[in-house]
Structure 1
Amino acid sequence: MNIETALKEAMAVNGAIGVALVDYESGMSLGSLGGDKDLDLEVAAAGNTEVVRAKVRTLTTLAMNDSVEDILITLGSQYHLIRPLARSHGSLFLYLALDRVRGNLALARHELKRIEGILDV
């Protein structure tokens, strides 16, 4: 599955506000869809890059032989779900913002995992 199709499928998740595929080494977005006046996906992608970098550094410092499956940031009205992709995809993560009222967090996690499995970058 190419990036454009992956982003479209992520946006089909109930409650999706915006999605981006981001390189956490550079902070640059490889593609994004959605967003609104309250969610600038380019700014969010760059900011969440720091979150992923910090967690990766922490795992390294703790010498944990493990990987981050996903990171959840809970806001008053939104969920922000960050899914670092498997090493085969380099330093990329999927970022999905969901409306808390309309979204289903469990389904969103499942869908991002599925998309990761068939994404071809």
Structure 2
Amino acid sequence: MPGIDECLLEAMLLPGALGAGVVDWASGLALGSIGDSPGGDHEVTAAETAELARTAAEHPDFGASPSGGGEDLPAVGPPATDLPVEDLIITTRTAYHVLCFVETAFDSSVFLHLWLDREEGNLALARLRLRGLAERLVL
């Protein structure tokens, strides 16, 4: 099970990876970072992406049932987690930003942020690999 540094090194092995970070979305602090940062400063990037993550994680509409009616539906698939959002994908003209929430046994407010070159990266592969890293990450 990788720690923060090992997780970030593995994220940077993805094709097109420009930079990566582990961020606490409650405080906006970077717990670790590697590679380049979109604005040149990992701490500023962590604070800005934490605002997006916090908004998505705390917004009540993202936790609504697929039917929208609030009916009690039979459980299908794995049990629901406290966070209704699994990841966020932000697309710019030149890059993708993938924010993948990390679920832990304790009340976690951590996400992985991968900055991926749009021409060289594979968004689907990056999303799957980042989810795997998030599941194995030891904090």
TM-score, L = length of structure 2: 0.79
- Tell me, in whole angstroms, the C-alpha distance in 1 between the residues paired with 2:8 and 2:62: 33
Say if 1:38 and 1:28 are closer, same or farther in 2 by CA, change over 3 A. closer
Shift of 1:88: 2.8
- Tell me, in whole angstroms, the C-alpha distance in 2 between the residues paired with 1:62 and 1:37: 27
Does structure 1 residue 40 correspond to structure 2 residue 46? no
Does structure 1 residue 95 correspond to structure 2 residue 116? no
Shift of 1:104: 0.3
- Tell me, in whole angstroms, the C-alpha distance in 1 between the residues paired with 2:100 and 2:128: 11
Please give the secondary structure, in 1, of the residue aligned with 2:23.
Answer: strand
**1:28-70 alpha-carbon deviations (Å, 9 max, x no partner):** 01000001575432211110101011112213x6763761111
Decide which structure has greater helix share.
1
Q: Which runs of 5 or more structure 1 residues have no equivalent in the other structure?
A: none
Say if 1:36 and 1:86 are closer, same or farther in 2 by CA, change over 3 A. closer
- Tell me, in whole angstroms, the C-alpha distance in 1 between the residues paired with 2:32 and 2:94: 24
- Over aligned residue pairs, what C-alpha RMSD do you find? 1.9
1:104 equivalent in structure 2: 122
**1:66-99 alpha-carbon deviations (Å, 9 max, x no partner):** 6111101100100000011114361100000000
1:23 equivalent in structure 2: 24
- Tell me, in whole angstroms, the C-alpha distance in 2 between the residues paired with 1:115 and 1:46: 22
Q: Which amino acid aligns with 2:19?
A: G
Q: Percent of aligned pairs with the same residue?
A: 38
The answer as to whether partners of 1:15 and 1:99 remain within 8 angstroms in 2 is yes
Please give the secondary structure, in 2, of the residue aligned with 1:102.
Answer: coil
Q: 2:133 aligns with which of 112, 115, 121?
A: 115
Q: Which amino acid aligns with 2:111?
A: F
| Higher CA-based Rg | 2
